[in-house]
Amino acid sequence: MGLLDRIGSPADVRALSPGQVRALAAEIRRYLVDQVSRTGGHLGPNLGVVELTIALHRVFDSPRDTLVFDTGHQAYVHKLLTGRQDFGRLRRSGGLSGYPSRAESPHDVVENSHASTALSWADGIARANALGRRGDRHVVAVVGDGALTGGMAWEALNNIADGADRRLVVVVNDNGRSYAPTIGGLALHLDALRTTRGYETVLSWGRQALRRSGPPGRAAYDALHGLKKGIKDAVAPQGMFEDLGLKYVGPVDGHDEAAVEFALRRARSFGGPVIVHVITEKGRGYTPAEQDVADRFHAVGQIHPETGLPVAPSRFGWTGVFADEVVRIGRRRPDVVAITAAMLQPVGLAPFAEAFPDRTFDVGIAEQHAVTTAAGMAFAGLHPVVAVYATFLNRAFDQVLMDVGLHRAGVTFVLDRAGLTGDDGPSHNGVWDMAVLGVVPGLRLAAPRDEDTLRAALRAAVDVDDAPTVVRYPKGALTEPLPAVDDADGVDVLARHAGPDGARSVLVCGIGAMVRTALALGELLAQHGLAVTVVDPRWVLPVPAALVKLVGEHDHAVTLEDGVREGGIGSAVGLRARDAGIATPVQAFGVPRRYLEHASRDELLTGLRLTAPDVARDVLAALGATA
């Protein structure tokens, strides 16, 4: 029986001796590598915060003291120390979430896995504690250096600094990376903190020199004072935090548990806002992760724990097609530039950056800035391609609407992992984009179904210079090609089932990743004596006039999408049909307006009744037929 087996709560962690703490840290690392290699998950970030998390639970009394993890993908160790040690179904239906989850434990507070939000949460909780006369309670926000590149974090710091009476500790977990090396002025600032010796050490040399030279005069004291000020400005850039009114402690070796614990106790005793700067190494203790420069171990699928290599190599996927095609476009179009928000590798822009380093811009975790700087680039004659996960564009909707849309800027947004992504839970499902972006005047959105339509959509998108364009595609491997059998004024016809004489006709419209389901649905409906046409409009916003015309040519219409149903493409098709005086009912199938728990995509589709057999039963019921 190991030490980890005896940890049922943070109280058990506080009872450990220093030697046991070191042994527990080593045991946790072995456990994480063993378990996450089987299930997949965020391995590197958690290996980097083992000692830090242990120290947090030894110094603070969770849940009485509130611990908030920014992004939350580094909370696996926190789960282990709060009694959740069954990682067998991590990120799978019925198992532990890959992020903090209130349903799992009172020790979890913030479930949102979007970055740069923890400081605002912590500020709000600390203010409530102060008003509620709970001044003996602490709030601790653990935020990575990558998350500090987000503007919201600095809005929060500005307000936190104005709260001398609030017991709030900000732990900056500085590993120099988010998904990739942290960029920008903040990264340079933290790098200086990491690599310079404390200015007091340098001053001690000056004092020793004065003592050796005899009794110091006024001029010597003035010189020492000037030296102190100059050295502090030069080699103690913590002044940036101190100038905000925040006490600064650090930098501290994040893998020396005793040192981290000492720093946290100092911060806890201060009684006001404190920054504790902790230096950690992502992937610490796992050789494949320590030696990896591409950050492949930030999040992994199933891997061989000995080597870190995938158990099953990934098939060529949607992201790979985008990566290849955008480089081709870049060679043809010198005005095309690429922008991403700390996601260069995950969204497939690394090959573009290698080919065109001067035309690639990683702005950090700053989606709002990414969108508006793209609008500025478009005004100045460039065509920016902004590549982010679909879920993260939510954070910049105002900028899409008012900076890009209003100004008719030629900006292309490429949304990776659109639709149901599953394993990472409610905040990572990219199901909102089509409904949200549908209200932006002039915006055009494509949902390709396979490699050829993705490449074609990208080429068409960058040719639009007077409006925003969007190309969305799902997570994972590519499907087999799905060629059209006919063209209906720009709408692809994928299948026609004639049906017997006098049969009622049904139009089935598949959107993006749901096209394959639409084809299966068409076959099932045809088996019930219906005449079925299966189509894919490819460009779904604005709703093509040809698609509306097809609706009017059938007795019943069905739309299938893996975005939210209310306000989605099906809703828009039905509205346009009614506006055109078409009486054909449009039956829209999509994701309900609710947050979805973590599960595989297939499990989610089954649970939402978005499989072909389930939809066929509902369509037949609407038609009054027997399933």
Summarised one tens digit per residue, pLDDT across range 48-67 is 889 999 999 999 999 999 99
Whole-number Å distance between alpha carbons of 46 and 230: 39
List, in sequence order, every residue forming a beta bridge with 172; answer none if it has no partner.
143, 277
Are 497 and 464 members of one domain? Answer: no
100: domain CATH number is: 3.40.50.970
- Which pLDDT band, with edges at 50, 70 and 90, does 97 fall under? confident
Are 340 and 432 members of one domain? Answer: yes
Count of CA atoms in the C-beta half-sphere (13 A) of 65:
21
Q: Strand, helix or coil at 373? A: helix
Can you give the pLDDT at residue 313?
A: 60
Q: Is residue 229 part of a domain?
A: no
Question: Residue type for 431, please?
Answer: V
Contact 119, 365 (CB under 8 A): no
Active-site entry in 261, 325, 367, 561: 367
pLDDT, tens digit, for every residue of 200-259? Answer: 443 444 445 444 555 545 555 455 445 444 444 444 445 556 666 678 888 888 888 888
Q: Strand, helix or coil at 337? A: strand
**End-to-end Cα separation, the chain, in angstroms:** 56
Are 466 and 588 members of one domain? Answer: no
Distance, C-alpha 173 to centroid of its chain: 18
Are 415 and 500 members of one domain? Answer: no
Distance, C-alpha 75 to centroid of its chain: 15
Catalytic residue list contains 367: yes
Q: How many domains does the chain have?
A: 3
Question: Has residue 579 got a pLDDT over 80?
Answer: yes
Can you give the pLDDT at residue 467?
A: 97
Q: Is residue 293 part of a domain?
A: no
Prior bond of 63 cis (ω within 30°): yes
Catalytic residue list contains 257: no
Are 107 and 178 members of one domain? Answer: yes
Mean residue pLDDT of the chain comes to: 85
C-alpha distances out from residue 613 to 52, 158, 512, 525, 607, Å:
50, 54, 19, 9, 13
Q: Is residue 456 part of a domain?
A: yes
- Token code pair at residue 278: 């902790």
Q: Looking at per-residue confidence, does 325 or 599 come out higher?
A: 325
**Would you say 146 is a known binding-site residue?**
yes
Least confident range from 303-312, 380-389, 499-508: namely 303-312
**Would you say 113 is a known binding-site residue?**
yes
Question: Has residue 195 got a pLDDT over 70?
Answer: no
Residue tagged 């420069």 (tokens): 293
Give percent of the chain above pLDDT 70. 84
Active-site entry in 247, 395, 449, 576: 395
Active-site entry in 282, 296, 449, 475: 282
Query: Which of 443, 472, 501 is the last residue before a domain boundary?
Result: 472
Q: Is residue 104 part of a domain?
A: yes
Range 191-207 average pLDDT: 46
Are 128 and 264 members of one domain? Answer: yes
**Would you say 248 is a known binding-site residue?**
no
Are 503 and 465 members of one domain? Answer: no
Prior bond of 100 cis (ω within 30°): no
Specify which of 193-197, 290-294, 300-304, 383-387 reaches the highest per-range mean pLDDT: 383-387
**Would you say 422 is a known binding-site residue?**
no
Q: How many other C-beta atoms are found inside a 10 Å radius of the C-beta of residue 197?
A: 9
Count of CA atoms in the C-beta half-sphere (13 A) of 128:
9
- Token code pair at residue 313: 């190599």
Q: Is residue 226 part of a domain?
A: no
Question: Has residue 180 got a pLDDT over 90?
Answer: no
**Would you say 115 is a known binding-site residue?**
yes
C-alpha distances out from residue 160 to 125, 152, 164, 427, Å:
11, 12, 8, 26
Question: Residue type for 604, please?
Answer: L
Are 460 and 501 members of one domain? Answer: no
Contact 587, 614 (CB under 8 A): no
Are 360 and 262 members of one domain? Answer: no
**Would you say 175 is a known binding-site residue?**
yes
Contact 296, 58 (CB under 8 A): no
Can you give the pLDDT at residue 181?
A: 54
Are 447 and 515 members of one domain? Answer: no
